[in-house]
């Protein structure tokens, strides 16, 4: 557009009306600005250093120009537009004006982003780690026990239904002598004391070395745990621990907390491509299960039960030592349970202080319990 | 007003440039763990908007990735508080209605009851949908003049809920009523510059657009009647019934697209810009279906080849590992990188082979009547855009582009 061919045609929109103005553009005499001439309007002058072009446009043969201006708009741009289609002018502008594609962030943008990002992260963290657990605890305290028990039964029904095989046979073990031995263990542990809940015990025929408590007194041991245990005292210790969770209402707390927090993580991470993995990992760190404080309290409760029933906790130490090899791979802050090594030490100290003990089951009962899933 | 003067829109976007832009921005999105997606969306919209042309002028998209990112942060905080509290409290009260289930059906019912808190999200989703449209219009310009929409999202929410319930209760028969009145609500609150759009017409005129659905129902009833009345043995009946789901999807898929296309035709043709500028829209169901089918085939083919290559690399490195070679960090990285590139390709291909052709078809079948009247339109004020689609983004309601 500069040189012998003189000014070139362009389309101009003044940013005030939708009228399309036929314009002629040329660099000013001093070379510092672009002059826009229209019939019936005063000439406009846009300084070259403030000249900007629209990015990511589909038609490479046209250049839509605007000018840097302090407006309240989403970007600091004047609303007026100049559309240049003359090939020589487009090429000349792109070649000689490297600042055309500049982004022009407003002052303080980075500070603003950092503030908002920090605020959002803080708000979500407070929600997940302070408000929801607090509210879950508050509501769990106020939930009527009958409701908790009914919900626990309903949860167990669902669990049984989900783990049953396609023939509808569920995993619950039913050997009569084994069940009797389990009942004997429960009676020995709990005795006549009022826990506030009817404890209902089940063994699932699964190799997992684990046990869990559903709300309202439903406790499940997995066959793998009984297989792994070397004597009845070890099983009794686990049972005492789970009863501890039931009495502290930990399962219903956890359920309430999860009800509030599950939606939030998928909200944040959900639609990132491949973000499901991240969401799953986040969920693991968030709620591997109960808090470590709750686990420690359940351990203490178990010691209370075992000591009062005159059951030795020395075998429990051996059990922790053995599973420490499996479980202590995770650092303590990632794991819900305290490290097994530490728990073994605590069990040993407790055993040293309480020496007047008797076996929890006799040899025949222990064999029956080990065979509870043989049907 | 003279509608003799008319101007048909055109679409100038190309496959190659859009694919390059989409792939580049998708890879950046992956590399930034998803943060770049706001900028990616803004850039792709800039490209598509600039391809839509009326006469020699194009649309312009002025939204920025930055404002979308900040809007998303706001939405996440609001939603985290709302979702967390509402779901926890709803769950707590839901607990009081729990009874011990006796049958499998009761178990399923009770499990689904706890997902009912989803309905607590419906008002927010509708709110987000209106807000997203308002933002999109506020960031669209033509000849330097902004489009815009009134701040009336909550009015839309309760109307949409009411119409939704009516449509549900009438077994879908009142769908045209819902479509018409909701579109009218949104259109009558939309502006180009200082000029208001007006939705004319009447809702009963949308019934012809329901043809596809009625055809589907007729076919369904006829085939059930045929199977019931025919002297077929039970084995043959079961064999026939197995085709039902497929036929159902085909017929109602067609009905759905037919309704969308034809209700859009009618509603667009009945819109004016303050009575001065009119519109004519003639998209075709067959063309839209054709784009979807061919596009899905192309995308499916390319992606299955890609995943085939990834599978091959995995198989080779597994075989190498079995032969005693330690699986190198290198091969794991190569597999991971290929997988991510394939994911990015999937989105870019769908954009280029499905979404862009559909937009192009709708653009090229759109005619503006009396475009000279546009010259009189004056600028409207800037709309800060509130959450800049943050709620829609957080609730996964993102528009196709």
Q: Which residues of B touch A83 (CB under 8 A)?
A: 57
Q: Is the pLDDT of residue A375 over 80?
A: no
B114: closest chain A residue by CA: A259
For A210-254, the pLDDT digits (tens) are 888 888 888 888 888 888 888 888 899 889 988 999 998 888 888
CB-based contact B376 A127, cutoff 8 Å: no
Q: What pLDDT is recorded for position B108?
A: 67
Q: Is the pLDDT of residue A137 over 80?
A: yes
CB-based contact B344 A259, cutoff 8 Å: no
For B85-117, the pLDDT digits (tens) are 887 887 787 777 766 666 666 666 666 665 666
Query: Which candidate from B47, B95, B117 shows the least CB-CB separation from A143?
Result: B95
Task: Provide the mean pLDDT of chain A.
Answer: 82
A247 contacts A301 by C-beta, under 8 angstroms: yes
Q: Which residues of A touch B343 (CB under 8 A)?
A: 273-274
CB-based contact A75 B62, cutoff 8 Å: yes
Q: Which residues of A50-62 are buried (b: 16+ CB within 10 A; e: fewer)?
A: bbbbbebbbbeeb
For A6-35, the pLDDT digits (tens) are 789 999 999 999 999 999 999 998 889 999
A163 touches chain B (CB under 8 A): no
Q: What pLDDT is recorded for position A282?
A: 46
B87: closest chain A residue by CA: A260
Cβ pairs bridging A and B (under 8 Å): 209
pTM tops 0.90, yes or no: no
Q: Is the pLDDT of residue A285 over 80?
A: no
Smallest CA–CA separation between A281 and chain B, in Å? 15
Q: Is the pLDDT of residue A272 over 50?
A: no
Q: What pLDDT is recorded for position B328?
A: 66
Give the 3-state secondary structure of residue A222: strand
What's the pLDDT band for A68 if we cut at 50, 70, 90? very high
Q: Is the pLDDT of residue A281 over 60?
A: no
Using CA atoms, how far residue A175 sits from A167, A178, A179, A232, A239, in Å, is 20, 5, 6, 17, 19
Using CA atoms, how far residue B127 sits from A261, B63, B198, in Å, is 22, 20, 22
A134-138, A260-264, A293-297, B351-355: least confident range: A260-264
Q: Which residues of A touch B46 (CB under 8 A)?
A: 54-57
CB-based contact B398 A153, cutoff 8 Å: no
CB-based contact A15 B60, cutoff 8 Å: no
A113 touches chain B (CB under 8 A): yes
Query: Which candidate from A56, A268, A269 shows the least CB-CB separation from B21?
Result: A56
The whole-angstrom separation of Cα A177 and Cα A365 is 8
A19 contacts B375 by C-beta, under 8 angstroms: yes
Smallest CA–CA separation between B306 and chain A, in Å? 17
Q: Which residues of B touch A70 (CB under 8 A)?
A: none
Q: Which residues of A touch B114 (CB under 8 A)?
A: 259
A139-143, B10-14, B75-79, B340-344: least confident range: B340-344
A109 touches chain B (CB under 8 A): yes
What's the pLDDT band for B319 if we cut at 50, 70, 90? confident
> Which residues neighbour B197 within 8 Å (Cβ) at sequence distance 6 or greater?
B187, B188, B190, B191, B271, B272, B273, B274
B93: closest chain A residue by CA: A143
Q: Which residues of B touch A103 (CB under 8 A)?
A: none
A297-306, B7-16, B18-27: least confident range: A297-306
Q: Is the pLDDT of residue A255 over 50?
A: yes
Q: SS3 sequence, chain B?
A: CCCCCEEEEEECCCHHHHHHHHHHHHHHHHHCCCCCHHHHHHHHHHHHHHHEEECCEEEEECCCHHHHHHHHHHHHHHHHHHHHHHHHHHHHHHHCCCCCCCCHHHHHHHHHHCCHHHHHHHHHHHHHHHHHHHHHHHCEEECCEEEEECCCHHHHHHHHHHHHHHHHHCCCCCHHHHHHHHHHHHHCCEEECCEEEEECCCHHHHHHHHHHHHHHHHHHHHHHHHHHHCCCCHHHHHHHHCCHHHHHHHHHHHHHHHHHHHHHHHHHHCEEECCCEEEEECCCHHHHHHHHHHHHHHHHHHHHHHHHHHHHHHHHHHHHHHCCCCCCHHHHHHHHHHHHHHHHHHHHHHHHHHHHHHHHHHHHCEEEECHHHHHHCECCCCCCCCCCCHHHHHCCCCCCC
CB-based contact A18 B374, cutoff 8 Å: yes
Q: What pLDDT is recorded for position A355?
A: 79
For A167-211, the pLDDT digits (tens) are 666 778 888 899 999 999 999 888 878 888 888 898 988 887 788
Of B383, B401, B389, the closest CA to residue B127 belongs to B389
Q: Is the pLDDT of residue A278 over 50?
A: no
Task: Provide the mean pLDDT of chain B.
Answer: 87
Q: Is the pLDDT of residue A98 over 70?
A: yes
A118 touches chain B (CB under 8 A): no
């Amino acid at each position: 557009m500069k040189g012998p061919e003189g000014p070139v045609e362009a389309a101009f929109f003044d940013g005030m009306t939708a009228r399309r103005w036929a314009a002629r553009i040329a660099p000013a005499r001093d070379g510092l600005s672009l002059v826009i001439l229209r019939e019936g309007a005063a000439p406009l002058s846009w300084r070259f250093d403030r000249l900007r072009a629209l990015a990511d446009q589909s038609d490479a043969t046209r250049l839509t120009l605007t000018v840097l201006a302090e407006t309240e708009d989403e970007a600091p741009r004047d609303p007026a537009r100049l559309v240049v289609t003359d090939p020589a002018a487009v090429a000349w502008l792109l070649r000689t004006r490297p600042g055309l594609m500049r982004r022009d962030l407003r002052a303080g943008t980075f500070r603003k982003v950092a503030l908002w990002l920090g605020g959002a992260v803080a708000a979500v963290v407070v929600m997940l780690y302070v408000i929801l657990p607090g509210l879950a605890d508050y509501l769990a305290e106020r939930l009527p026990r009958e409701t908790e028990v009914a919900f626990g039964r309903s949860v167990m029904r669902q669990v049984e239904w989900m783990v049953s095989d396609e023939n509808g046979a569920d995993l619950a073990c039913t050997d009569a002598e084994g069940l009797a031995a389990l009942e004997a263990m429960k009676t020995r542990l709990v005795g006549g004391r009022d826990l506030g809940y009817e404890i209902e015990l089940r063994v699932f025929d699964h190799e997992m070395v684990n046990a869990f408590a559903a709300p309202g007194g439903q406790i499940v041991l997995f066959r793998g745990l009984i297989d792994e245990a070397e004597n009845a005292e070890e099983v009794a210790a686990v049972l005492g621990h789970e009863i501890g969770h039931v009495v502290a209402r930990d399962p219903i707390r956890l359920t309430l907390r999860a009800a509030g927090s599950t939606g939030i993580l998928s909200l944040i991470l959900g639609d990132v491509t491949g973000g499901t993995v991240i969401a799953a990992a986040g969920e693991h760190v968030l709620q591997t299960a109960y808090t470590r404080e709750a686990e420690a309290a359940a351990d203490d409760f178990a010691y209370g039960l075992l000591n009062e029933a005159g059951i030795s906790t020395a075998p429990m130490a051996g059990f922790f030592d053995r599973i420490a090899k499996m479980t202590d791979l995770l650092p303590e802050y990632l794991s819900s349970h305290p490290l097994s090594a530490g728990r073994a030490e605590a069990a040993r100290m407790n055993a040293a202080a309480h020496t007047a003990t008797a076996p929890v089951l006799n040899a025949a009962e222990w064999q029956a319990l080990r065979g509870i899933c043989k049907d | 007003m003279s509608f003799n003067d008319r101007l048909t829109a055109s679409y100038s976007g190309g496959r190659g440039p859009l694919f390059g832009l989409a792939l580049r921005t998708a890879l950046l999105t992956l590399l930034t763990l998803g943060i770049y997606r706001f900028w990616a969306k803004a850039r792709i919209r800039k490209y598509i908007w600039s391809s839509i042309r009326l006469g020699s002028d194009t649309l312009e998209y002025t939204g920025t990735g930055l404002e979308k990112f900040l809007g998303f942060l706001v939405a996440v905080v609001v939603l985290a508080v709302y979702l967390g509290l509402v779901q926890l409290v709803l769950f707590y009260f839901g607990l009081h209605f729990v009874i011990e289930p006796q049958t499998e059906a009761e178990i399923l019912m009770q499990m689904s009851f706890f997902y009912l808190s989803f309905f607590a999200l419906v008002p927010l989703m509708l709110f987000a949908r209106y807000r997203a449209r308002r933002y999109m219009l506020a960031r669209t310009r033509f000849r330097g003049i902004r489009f815009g929409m009134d701040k009336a999202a909550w009015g839309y929410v309760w109307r949409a809920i009411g119409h939704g319930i009516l449509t549900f209760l009438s077994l879908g028969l009142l769908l045209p009523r819902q479509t018409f009145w909701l579109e009218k609500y949104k259109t009558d609150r939309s502006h180009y510059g200082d000029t208001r759009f007006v939705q004319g017409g009447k809702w009963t005129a949308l019934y012809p657009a329901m043809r596809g659905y009625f055809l589907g129902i007729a076919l369904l009833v006829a085939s059930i009647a045929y199977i019931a009345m025919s002297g077929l043995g039970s084995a043959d009946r079961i064999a026939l019934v197995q085709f039902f789901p497929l036929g159902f999807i085909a017929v109602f898929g067609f009905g759905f697209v037919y309704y969308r296309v034809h209700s859009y035709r009618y509603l667009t043709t009945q819109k004016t810009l303050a009575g001065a500028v009119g519109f004519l829209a003639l998209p075709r169901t067959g063309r839209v279906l054709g784009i979807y089918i061919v596009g899905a085939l192309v995308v499916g083919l390319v992606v299955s080849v890609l995943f085939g290559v990834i599978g091959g690399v995995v198989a080779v490195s597994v075989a190498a590992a079995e032969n005693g070679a330690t699986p190198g960090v290198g091969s794991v990285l190569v597999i991971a990188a290929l997988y991510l590139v394939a994911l990015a390709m999937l989105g870019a291909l769908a954009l280029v082979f499905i979404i862009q052709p559909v937009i192009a078809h709708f653009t090229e079948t759109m005619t503006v009547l009396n475009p000279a009247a546009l010259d009189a339109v004056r600028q409207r004020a800037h709309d800060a855009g509130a959450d800049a689609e943050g709620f829609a983004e957080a609730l996964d309601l993102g528009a196709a582009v």
